[in-house]
């Protein structure tokens, strides 16, 4: 089901939409060498073939997993003969170009620089770290984005109606909800979506034309999960996940986490919810919680699925088992209420910054007591540094609404 033209290509409208960078380069027939950087299944190989076809260039393809300098030299020699004998250019596509070592990348450099070969490299890794600076300076990095649910549904719909390249001759009936479920499980990967769809179609009994969730479940070897990232069930499962952690129900929290991930939820969405929860519901009862949550989010971004499931599970267990406090939420809400009620109250003179003689004469900084001059680095007798309208008696708290558990309870004694 590979598209035959750029107009049939699904997704990447930030590059291929009207007036966009790559579309303009195609239309003007001035394609640069480029690195296509993006997740699996976003169309990097397909796009490279379309670019070659559009410019009538010969298409040469290498996989950096198995190719070496010898293979590069053979491609270059064919490109040289092709240009000399037929006046035809060569587009060299290198899949997983980040796997080429320095000497292999250096072997490409003079031929890319001379224009003998127009390079299109594909990588799932950040080119800034994995591609030599010299080669990177001669290629344009095009960042491809994960395909959305609607993009994947479009790809599958085309496969269902195309009699020549797809399965249109089967005249199948498939509702959008099922296609969106397949798309959610594919996590932005068009190949995976088409493979899952094909497996479900293969599970249909002879003579049957309506595809169901049961057929999909048989194809995937597991029960199809009811979970639409744009629908009500999405919010129900997320709510169950958060409330389970809040209730310190670690079993339920891990279950709802796996429900989300197994149904194709974006792991970075889950990671963001975990980071928010760390401050909102654990807070300073265990300050380490925010570090654990942030580390899990960073590891999720770095590793991706399926390994990220372990990072998210570790953080979920930590947060569910940690002491709970919503003091950050309550403190912020109380302070914001007064800011909105009273507006911009004047800063007390004692804590104003006296940077000029005139400011000092005006009383800026008068009455300020340097805490490090006192035992323990705390001046327990200083007047409140809140605006006068909000100041409370010594020992009282307006916004530091400390909870009864963990670190913050001990620190406030």
At residue 224, the pLDDT reads 46
Fold observed for domain 232-321:
Zinc Finger, Delta Prime; domain 3 (1.20.272)
Single out the residue of 231, 333, 321 nearest to residue 277, CA to CA: 321
At residue 223, the pLDDT reads 42
Delimit the CATH 1.10.3710 region(s) of the chain: 327-411
Q: How far is CA 277 from CA 141, 248, 326, 328, 384, in A?
A: 36, 12, 10, 11, 31
DSSP state of 280: I
Delimit the CATH 1.10.8.60 region(s) of the chain: 149-220
Distance (Å, whole) CA 184 – CA 178 = 10
> φ and ψ at 313, to 5 degrees?
-65, -45
At residue 241, the pLDDT reads 96
At residue 80, the pLDDT reads 95
Fold observed for domain 327-411:
post-AAA+ oligomerization domain-like (1.10.3710)
Helix H, strand E, coil C: the string for 172-226 is CECCHHHHHHHHHHHCCCHHHHHHHHHHHHHCCCCCCCECCHHHHHHHHCCCCCC
pLDDT by residue for the chain (413 residues), tens digit each?
A: 678 888 888 889 999 988 898 999 888 888 889 999 988 888 888 898 888 777 778 889 999 888 889 999 999 999 999 999 998 889 999 998 988 888 888 889 999 999 899 999 999 888 887 888 888 898 999 999 988 889 999 999 988 888 887 877 778 888 888 888 888 878 788 888 888 888 888 877 777 778 777 777 666 655 444 455 555 567 888 999 999 999 999 999 999 999 988 877 889 999 999 999 999 999 999 999 999 999 999 999 998 888 999 999 999 999 999 999 998 888 888 889 888 888 888 888 888 888 888 888 888 888 888 888 888 887 777 777 788 888 775 556 777 767 777 777 776 66
At residue 393, the pLDDT reads 59
Decide if 398 contacts 392 (C-beta within 8 A): yes
Fold observed for domain 6-143:
Rossmann fold (3.40.50)
Of how many residues is the chain composed? Answer: 413
Tokens of 263: 């149904």
Architecture of domain 149-220: Orthogonal Bundle (1.10)
Delimit the CATH 1.20.272.10 region(s) of the chain: 232-321
Distance (Å, whole) CA 289 – CA 326 = 13
Delimit the CATH 3.40.50.300 region(s) of the chain: 6-143
At residue 34, the pLDDT reads 93
At residue 220, the pLDDT reads 66
The model's pTM is 0.52
Q: How far is CA 244 from CA 74, 240, 257, 393, in A?
A: 60, 6, 10, 39
Decide if 88 contacts 58 (C-beta within 8 A): yes
């Amino acid at each position: 089901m590979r598209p035959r033209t750029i107009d049939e290509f699904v997704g990447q409208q930030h590059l291929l939409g009207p007036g966009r960078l790559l579309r303009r380069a195609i239309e003007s027939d001035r394609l640069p060498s480029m690195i296509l950087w993006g997740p699996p299944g976003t169309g990097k190989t397909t796009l490279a073939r379309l670019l070659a076809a559009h410019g009538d260039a010969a298409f040469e393809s290498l996989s950096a997993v198995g190719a070496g300098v010898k293979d590069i030299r053979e491609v270059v020699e064919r490109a040289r003969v092709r240009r000399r004998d037929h006046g035809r250019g060569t587009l060299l596509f290198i899949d997983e170009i980040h796997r080429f070592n320095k000497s292999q990348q250096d072997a490409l450099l003079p031929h890319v620089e001379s224009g003998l070969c127009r390079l299109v490299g594909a990588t799932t890794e950040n080119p800034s770290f994995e591609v030599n600076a010299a080669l990177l300076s001669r290629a344009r990095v095009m960042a491809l984005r994960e395909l959305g649910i609607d993009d994947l549904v479009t790809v599958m719909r085309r496969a269902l109606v195309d009699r020549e390249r797809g399965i249109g001759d089967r005249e199948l009936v498939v509702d959008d909800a099922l296609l969106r479920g397949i798309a959610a499980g594919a996590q932005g990967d068009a190949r995976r979506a088409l493979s899952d769809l094909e497996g479900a179609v293969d599970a249909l009994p002879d003579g049957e034309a309506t595809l169901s969730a049961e057929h999909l479940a048989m194809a995937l070897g597991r029960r199809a999960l009811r979970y639409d990232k744009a629908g009500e069930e999405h919010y129900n499962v997320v709510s169950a996940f958060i409330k389970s952690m809040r209730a310190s129900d670690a079993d339920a929290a891990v279950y709802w986490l796996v429900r989300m991930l197994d149904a194709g939820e974006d792991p970075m969405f889950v990671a963001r919810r975990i980071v928010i929860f760390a401050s909102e519901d654990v807070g300073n009862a265990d300050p380490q919680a925010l570090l654990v949550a942030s580390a899990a989010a960073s590891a999720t971004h770095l590793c991706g699925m399926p390994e990220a499931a372990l990072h998210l599970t570790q953080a979920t267990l930590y947060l569910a088992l940690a002491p709970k406090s919503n003091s950050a939420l309550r403190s912020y809400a109380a302070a914001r209420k007064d800011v909105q009620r009273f507006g911009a109250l004047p800063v007390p003179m004692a804590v104003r910054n006296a940077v000029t003689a005139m400011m000092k004469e005006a009383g800026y900084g008068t009455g300020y007591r340097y805490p490090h001059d006192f035992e323990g680095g705390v001046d327990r007798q200083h007047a409140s540094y809140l605006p006068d309208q909000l100041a409370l008696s010594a020992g009282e708290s307006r916004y530091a609404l400390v909870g009864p558990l963990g670190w913050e309870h001990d620190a406030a004694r």
